[in-house]
């Protein structure tokens, strides 16, 4: 096996796997513990394409992951496995720690012992920067705004873990970088903003673009229903389509020397940024509907604004998102209609 994809039955992992040419499927190994109910839906598709799969909980199966890496010495590992819901990290920080930190450390140790040439790309998060309350914000009718010619947050911002989720992802993030500095391993970190697109089985607190798109489709095709938004709805995020992310991961393997040992902010950038209110306004206009929502208390440690500055990754890899939000959201809406996932929200 040349490529391992941990968390490979998830949203990003499934899309990466299916992007390979069919004749190269034999080179892929999907590793997932199927802890998320929706992972089984993606697994059916992966098995249909005869992609190899192993049901392993990396956090609890140190020996199994060591044996796999020792045996295959993969060219690259796309490390996407982990606990990704903020609410679950607060409910059970112990599981959150093991899902994100122990799993990552088990892979790194196996690489250090048995496969030092393997490339590891770790999927991190913008939450490692904390709530960013040290910035000065204003607000208009639809969004929070950072003044002074703001062009997005760079990697120069200090790490500031403000939640169990940020702490676990940030710890893993730093381990990945340290194993490059200390042991010379071929590792890099991508700190993602909001990723969206096909085969995303979202929930209320994970995958907000898909969740609100599905609410809109349900209101259009089934019946009108009320739903909640956190805070005042002016929180801003940049969004990046899954097809752009897939291209980045695969391009990174081919040009890894340029990014070894570095961390990158990865997102849609300023031109692909939305507040919750702006997204809902867009959906109302696009689908010719009126959405009925109410506001609840804002989530703890929620950033008012996060927009990635992609200059560093563009400088090193010439990568930038090419799918604008209009095209991307059109595709997202079509997938929601096709999959009928809107019936479950």
Task: Give 4-27 as a DSSP string.
Answer: EEETTTSHHHHHHHHHS-GGGGGG
User: Which long-range contacts does 205-209 make (Cβ < 8 Å, 24+ apart)?
Assistant: 205/85, 205/86, 205/87, 205/299, 206/84, 206/85, 207/11, 208/237, 208/276, 209/239, 209/279, 209/329, 209/332
Q: What is the pLDDT of residue 38?
A: 87
Parallel, antiparallel, or unpaired for β 119-125 and 28-32?
A: unpaired
Q: Tokens for 126? A: 């913008």
Q: What is the pLDDT of residue 295?
A: 95
Note whether 1 and 27 are within 8 A (CB). yes
Q: What is the pLDDT of residue 300?
A: 79
Q: How far apart are CA 156 and CA 129, in angstroms?
A: 10
Mean pLDDT in consecutive groups of 10 residues from the start of the chain, 345 residues = 95 96 89 92 94 97 98 98 87 94 98 98 97 94 92 96 94 98 98 96 89 96 91 97 97 96 98 97 97 91 95 98 97 95 90
Q: What is the pLDDT of residue 224?
A: 85
Look at the chain and report how many structural domains it folds into: 1
Tally the C-alpha atoms within 13 A of residue 255's C-alpha that lie toward its C-beta: 15
165 catalytic, yes or no?
Answer: yes
Q: What is the pLDDT of residue 1?
A: 77
* pTM score above 0.85: yes
Q: Tokens for 75? A: 């060219």
Q: What's the count of helices (H) and strands (E) in the chain, helices before strands?
A: 12, 15
CATH number of the domain residue 104 falls in: 3.40.50.720
Q: Tokens for 79? A: 């490390």
Distant-in-sequence, close-in-space partners of 156: CB < 8 Å, separation ≥ 6? none
Parallel, antiparallel, or unpaired for β 137-139 and 144-146?
A: antiparallel
**Could you tell me which of 239, 344, 235 has the C-alpha nearest to residue 295?**
235
Q: How far apart are CA 282 and CA 233, in angstroms?
A: 14
Residue 309 sits in which domain range? 3-344
> Could you say which of 129, 165, 175, 179 is catalytic?
165
Distant-in-sequence, close-in-space partners of 274: CB < 8 Å, separation ≥ 6? 236, 237, 238, 239, 282, 325
Q: What is the pLDDT of residue 47?
A: 93
């Amino acid at each position: 096996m040349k490529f391992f994809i941990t968390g490979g039955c998830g949203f990003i992992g499934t899309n990466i796997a299916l992007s390979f040419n069919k004749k190269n499927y034999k080179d892929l190994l999907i590793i997932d513990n199927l802890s998320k109910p929706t992972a089984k839906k993606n697994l059916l598709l992966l098995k249909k394409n005869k992609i190899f799969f192993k049901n392993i909980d990396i956090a609890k199966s140190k020996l199994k992951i060591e044996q796999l890496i020792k045996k295959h010495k993969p060219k690259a590992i796309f490390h996407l496995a982990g606990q990704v819901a903020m609410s679950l990290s607060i409910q059970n920080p112990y599981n959150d720690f093991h899902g994100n930190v122990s799993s990552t450390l088990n892979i790194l140790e196996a690489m250090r012992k048995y496969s030092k040439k393997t490339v590891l790309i770790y999927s991190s998060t913008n939450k490692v920067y904390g709530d960013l309350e040290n910035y000065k914000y204003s607000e208009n009718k639809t969004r929070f705004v950072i003044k002074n010619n703001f062009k997005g947050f760079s990697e120069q911002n200090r790490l500031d873990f403000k939640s169990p989720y940020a702490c676990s992802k940030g710890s893993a993030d730093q381990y990945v970088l340290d194993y490059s500095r200390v042991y010379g391993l071929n590792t890099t970190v991508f700190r993602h903003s909001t990723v969206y697109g096909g085969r995303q089985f979202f929930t209320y607190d994970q995958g907000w673009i898909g969740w609100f798109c599905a609410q809109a489709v349900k209101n259009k095709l089934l019946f009108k229903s009320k739903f909640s938004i956190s805070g005042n709805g002016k929180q801003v995020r940049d969004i990046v389509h899954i097809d752009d992310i897939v291209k980045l991961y695969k391009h990174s393997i081919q040009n890894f020397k340029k990014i070894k040992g570095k961390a990158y902010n990865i997102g849609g950038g300023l031109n692909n940024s939305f507040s919750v209110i702006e997204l809902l306004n867009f959906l109302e206009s696009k689908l010719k509907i009126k959405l009925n929502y109410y506001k609840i208390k804002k989530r703890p440690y929620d950033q008012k604004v996060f927009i990635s500055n992609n200059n560093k990754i563009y400088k090193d890899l010439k990568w930038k998102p090419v799918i604008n939000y209009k095209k991307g959201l059109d595709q997202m809406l079509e997938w929601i209609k096709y999959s009928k996932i809107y019936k479950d929200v």
